[in-house]
Structure 1
Amino acid sequence: MMIVLGGAIVLATIYLLVKQYESRMVLFASGLLMALLAGAPMVALDSFASRMTTGGLITAICSVMGFAFVMKVTKCDQHLVNLVVGFLTKFRVILIPGATIATFAINIALPSAAGAAAAVGAIFIPILIAAGVSPAIAGAAVLAGTFGSMLSPGLSHNPFIAELAGVEVMDVIAVHSTADVISVVIAAISIAVVAKFLNEDKGYIAKSQAAATSEVNVETPKANLFYALVPILPIVILVLGSTILPALKMGVPQAMLIGAIIAIAVTRTNPQDVSKAFFDGMGSAYGQIMGIIIAAAVFVSGMEAIGIVEAFINMLVNTESVVNIAATFGPFLLGVISGSGDAAAFAFNEAVTPHAQMFGLEIINMGSIAALGGALGRTMSPIAGAAIVCASIAGVSPMELAKRNAPGMIIAAIVTMFVLL
């Protein structure tokens, strides 16, 4: 009886997330309600308190978001975008897939999907349209690359999985990096094929006054090379330190602080403004990202208290053939219908991934496919923040972008499931 009640609450939770109710409130309230029904309300509250102070998560996530805010205030992020766009516009034949891959690369340094979409899309989408590409394909090409943050040490899922597996963040990224790259290559090729199939890769002429991008300057602004290199410096340091230059090995916060200090030196921005931006970013990260992680922990603790987690794991043990599909397409589908794969991926990784070895899988692999599945699902969702940003710049419906991205994201999810699992 309790499991039936719990199942009803879980279904109600999914419904509310799809309807885009405040995800932290929904997850927390659902978890607390299940714990109350199980007669153990303190389980939920204790879970809240313990997840609040998970050191490995807080330091990585908050420091990366602090650095991202510094890049915005120093305008280094825009110079990076200008540099990449300026290069790609010289090669017309690869402009569409190049936009996807460029967005993916920039999203590593600027780990917010919507933020990267705005920074890249504001320049790239008008340039694509001016080159004769249809607005829908122009927006979809940029949107298709907004899961590059999978390779960022500050993406909340990477330190979360590292914490579960007891390894370093860069070790987690090393495991799923191949799958991430394969996914973006599939996405880039797919959007180029879709554009060709629909005859939307050339010949479009924008109505000068009616187009949403009519007031945007389509000339690529000049990029300062030194400014443009600053956003990628911390990532370069972390990669080199964990591979060929052990002397540079350091934690994520240290690398982000070095990057922020170099940003001050290179751009000569007022240190007070940089300091304020860094700490504002850290605070935002705790509230927005850690908030979801904490709420997801409460939700899972409620499911554990009421017996759903044990029942679900037993079901998976008895039908191991569905484990791979559940890990990949559970977060993927919720990402599509809710516009965010985070809640589903965190809940799955909190509840099931610690038991990965029961299914003959590694924790890192199972956690990675759940995170990547959610990200791919979000990238073909018409209600994701990044989709709305790209559609607004292109002057089309977000659904038009979602339809064009769907084939690539579905194929990428299937392929990477076999790569990681």
Structure 2
Amino acid sequence: MSLLMILVTLVAVVIVGYYILKSYHPVFVFFFSGIILLIAAFYFTGTPIPSGAKRAPETMTFWTTLLDSFVFITDTFKKQLAGVGLIIMAVAGFAGYMKYINASAKLAYLSNKPLGKIQNKYLILSGTFVVGMALKIVISSYAGLMLLLLACIYPVLVSLKIRPITAVAVLSLIGIDYGPKDGNTVQLAGIVGQQDNVVGIFLDYQIYPVLVYVVLLAILIPFYFSYIDKKDAKNGVVDEAVEIGEIIDPKCPTYYIFFPWLPVVFLFAAYFLNFKLDVVTVIFVSIAIVFIIEFIRHRSAKVLCDGMVVILKSMADIFISVVSIIVAAGVFAEGIKALGGIGTLAEIVSGMGASAVILTIAILSFIVYFATVIMGSGIAAFQAFGKIANDIAPKLGIPPITLVLPLEIASCLGRSASPIAGGVIALAGFAKVAPMEIIKRTMPLLIIAMIANILTAWWLTTKDVPEYMKTAPQTNTELIKHA
């Protein structure tokens, strides 16, 4: 029966991947498949549906089982909207407002000025990458950051005789989501049960793969793209002429560049002062401060009303594009878990000794990576397999964060390798090339980054567990009981 459940689990994942690849909406696919899997698991393995009514097994019918599966969907919505979903919506509302008042555009505009002082154009590319990754901590949207960089930094790169295809290829690599106010970090913390400690998650774990990624690619970019450009020149590849856009200074005071940093500053201050402050509260306080300054500047309450509409619309948009997928992927993940195949695989792998950990990290990371390449967004893949990884980690005797974190990084790298990701499409449009032309240039660097991500995650499993993780049982036996 165990081997059968493993087979059924694999078949279910393949079928879901097939329909998503065929452009079926992932929310529908995940909800529909999740319900089927929950019901199938109840009849094949006797696994009760989570959140369902506590009925005696002999009184259960197909219709009561179906009803319980919808009860679980309702409870999942309630849990997400009151937790991670609300945080992501609040962050999106703040980001939308920063874009509306030109604060994020001003920050990107001023960030490109140091680049002009670098003489070697390939070192400029490396500097652009580092600057872009620094901006990522406050401009959380990948597509949004790409558009800002295209408006503020891309014209500078092209004017410095950097090839358009090379410039956009480097910009596409600025894709790792990180930092205490980023939606992916919030989701990561929620999966491992540390949603109230996103700063701790960032400082104790997430910062390491991010630093490895930034340092590694900053070193490789000058050598790699110099080689690619020389190879293209030798093969007679000619770039299509592109128009250099005008670099426009956004209309807002210079001090507005500090506004996007407000939530990050507040979260770090609260963390180091040992003061409990959640992300949503920080976002609302930051918005209130900016509202006051905007009112003083414009002397008009209508400006604040318009800003509030922008915030609410941004929250609604992120609910449609992100939160709904998180909920649906959570239902699918619960269905996969209920089948028992993943648990059986975890038991088999856990008996393989020390190699089990790095093997599991590698397999799950590449699954999430390629799933993201197919879907163009890493949200669903990370949510579904992140929950599964959270359950597998105790069986391997490691803290869940060390297995879930590389999946979060892998989902970001997969997005940068996806020809249907919004940010990649925008970059290709500016350079007048096909998205696959960008992917072909960046794929070797992304694969190297994936290997570095896996090795860093493996190292983190040996790292001292911080204080907030020490309350969890740590021996393999205890972890299995705890799970």
Structure 2 distance, partners of 1:193, 1:115, is 28
Q: Residue 122 of structure 1 contacts residue 393 of structure 1 at CA under 8 Å; is this kept in 2?
A: no
Q: Deviations over 1:327-350 (max 9, x none)?
A: 322212222333222222111111
Q: Which letter maps to 1:302? A: G
The alignment status of 1:58 with 2:95, answered yes or no, reads: no
Match in the other structure for 1:182: 212
SS class of match (1:352): helix
Correspondence 1:141 to 2:144? no
Equivalent residue for 2:73?
A: 48
168-177 or 132-141, which moves further after superposition? Answer: 168-177
Shift of 1:163: 4.8
Confirm whether residue 213 of structure 1 aligns to residue 246 of structure 2.
Answer: no
SS of the residue aligned with 1:53?
helix
Range with bigger deviation, 311-320 or 234-243: 311-320
Alignment-derived partner of residue 105 in structure 2: 78
User: Hey, what does 1:13 align to over in structure 2?
Assistant: 16
Which region of structure 1 is more displaced relative to structure 2, 65-74 or 326-335? 326-335
Instruction: State the alpha-carbon separation in 2 of the partners of residues 163 and 132 from structure 1.
Output: 45
Q: How many residues align?
A: 413
Q: Counterpart amino acid of 2:95?
A: A
Find out whether 1:151 has 2:179 as its counterpart: yes
**Given the superposition, is the C-alpha separation of residues 341 and 163 from structure 1 closer, same or farther in structure 2, using an over 3 Å criterion?**
closer
Larger deviation: 2-11 or 134-143? 2-11
Cα distance in 1, alignment partners of residues 207 and 131 from structure 2:
16
Q: Is the 8 A contact 1:212 1:395 kept in 2?
A: yes
Change in CA separation of 1:190 and 1:16 when aligned onto 2, cut-off 3 Å: farther
Match runs of 1:99-114 below 5 Å: 99-114=128-143
Q: TM-score w.r.t. structure 1 length? A: 0.89
Once residues 422 and 151 of structure 2 are traced to their aligned partners in structure 1, the CA distance between those partners, rounded to angstroms, is: 15
**Which residue does 2:412 correspond to in 1?**
375
Partner of 2:441 in structure 1?
A: 404
Query: Which moved further from structure 2: 54-63 or 32-41?
Result: 32-41
The percentage of aligned residue pairs carrying the same residue is 24
Q: How far has the Cα of 1:88 moved from its partner?
A: 2.1
Residue 183 of structure 2 aligns to a residue whose secondary structure is coil
Q: Measure how far apart 1:48 and its partner are.
A: 1.9
**CA-to-aligned-CA distance 1:308-355 (integer Å, 9 cap, x gap):** 333333343344252121232221222233322222211111123133
Work out whether residues 109 and 152 of structure 1, in 8 Å CA contact, stay in contact via their aligned partners in 2: no
Distance in structure 1 (CA, Å) of the matches to 2:283 and 2:418: 31
Q: Does 1:67 align with 2:97?
A: no
Partner of 2:260: 231
What letter is aligned with 1:190? L
Counterpart amino acid of residue 87 in structure 2: A
Amino acid at match of 2:157: L
Map 1:19-30; keep pairs closer than 5 Å: 19-30=22-33
The separation in 2 between residues aligned to 1:191 and 1:227, in whole angstroms, is 32
Query: Which stretch of the first structure deviates more once superposed, 257-266 or 116-125?
Result: 257-266
In the TM superposition, residue 18 of structure 1 has moved relative to its aligned partner by: 3.1
**Structure 1 segment 410-421 matched on structure 2, within 5 A:** 410-421=447-458
Q: Using structure 2 for the length normalisation, give the TM-score.
A: 0.78
Post-superposition offset of 1:223: 7.5
Q: CA deviation at 1:372?
A: 0.6
Q: What is the CA–CA distance in structure 2 between the aligned matches of 1:336 and 1:417, rounded to whole Å?
A: 18
Deviation at 1:186, TM superposition (A): 2.0
Match of 2:283 in 1: 256
Give how far 1:153 is off.
2.4
Aligned 8 A contact 1:161 1:368 in 2: no
Q: Note the alpha carbon deviations across 1:264-321, whole angstroms, 9 max, x for none.
A: 3444461101211222222223332211111011111222333333333334334425
8 Å contact from structure 1 (residues 97, 189) kept in 2: yes
Aligned-pair CA distance for 1:385: 1.4
Q: Distance in 1 between matches of 2:416 and 2:375?
A: 11
Q: Which moved more, 1:94-103 or 1:112-121?
A: 94-103
The 1:239/1:339 distance shift into structure 2, 3 A limit, reads same
Q: SS of the residue aligned with 1:259?
A: helix
Deviates more, 1:29-38 or 1:62-71: 29-38
Alpha-carbon offset, residue 228 of structure 1: 1.3
The question of whether the paired residues in 1 share the 8 Å contact of 2:103 and 2:252 is answered with no
Unpaired stretches in structure 2, ≥5 consecutive residues: 44-64, 459-483
How big is each residue's C-alpha offset from its partner over 1:352-372, in whole Å with a ceiling of 9 and x where there is no partner? 313312112211121111111
In structure 2, what is the Cα distance between the partners aligned to 1:178 and 1:225?
Answer: 32
| Residue in 2 that maps onto 1:395 | 432
Q: CA shift at 1:35, angstroms?
A: 2.6
Compute the displacement of 1:113 (Å): 0.7
- Distance in 2 (CA, whole Å) between partners of 1:202 and 1:237 is 48
* Residue type of the alignment partner of 1:80: L
User: Match of 2:143, SS?
Assistant: helix
| 1:251 maps to amino acid | D
Q: Give yes or no for contact 2:189–2:197 (8 Å, CA) kept in 1.
A: no
Note closer, same or farther for the CA distance 1:220–1:274 as it changes in structure 2 (3 Å cut): closer
Q: CA RMSD in A?
A: 2.7
User: How big is each residue's C-alpha offset from its partner over 1:130-187, in whole Å with a ceiling of 9 and x where there is no partner?
Assistant: 211111110011111122x322423145344345334511122121112112112223
1:86-135 deviation line (CA, Å, top 9, x unaligned) = 23223243320122222222222121111111111222222211211111
Partner of 2:468: none
Q: Which whole-Å CA distance do the structure 1 matches of 2:382 and 2:243 have between them? A: 35
**Matching residue of 2:149:** 120
Structure 1 unaligned blocks of 5 or more: none
Picking from 323, 332, 346, the partner of 2:383 is: 346
Compute the displacement of 1:218 (Å). Answer: 4.3
Say which SS state the counterpart of residue 383 (structure 1) adopts: coil
Q: Structure 1's 180 and 223: CA in aligned 2 closer, same or farther, altered over 3 A? A: farther
Alpha-carbon shift at residue 73 of structure 1 (Å): 1.2
- Correspondences of 1:348-367 after superposition (within 5 Å): 348-367=385-404
Residues 81, 106 of structure 1: 8 Å contact kept: yes
> Which residue is equivalent to 1:285?
318
Identify if the C-alpha distance between structure 1 residues 339 and 295 changes in structure 2 by more than 3 Å, giving closer, same or farther. same
Q: Secondary structure at the match of 2:117?
A: coil
The residue identity in structure 2 corresponding to 1:8 is V
Secondary structure of the residue aligned to 1:109 is coil
- Structure 1 18/162 Cα, relative in aligned 2: closer, same or farther at 3 Å? same
Per the TM alignment, residue 226 of structure 1 is displaced from its structure 2 partner at its CA by 0.6
Aligned to 1:385: 422
Q: Tell me the distance in 1 between the aligned counterparts of 2:188 and 2:392.
A: 15
Between the aligned partners of 1:44 and 1:231, the Cα distance in structure 2 is 41
Equivalent residue number for residue 370 of structure 2: 333
Task: Find out whether 1:309 has 2:342 as its counterpart.
Answer: yes
> Which 10-residue stretch deviates more, 379-388 or 32-41?
32-41
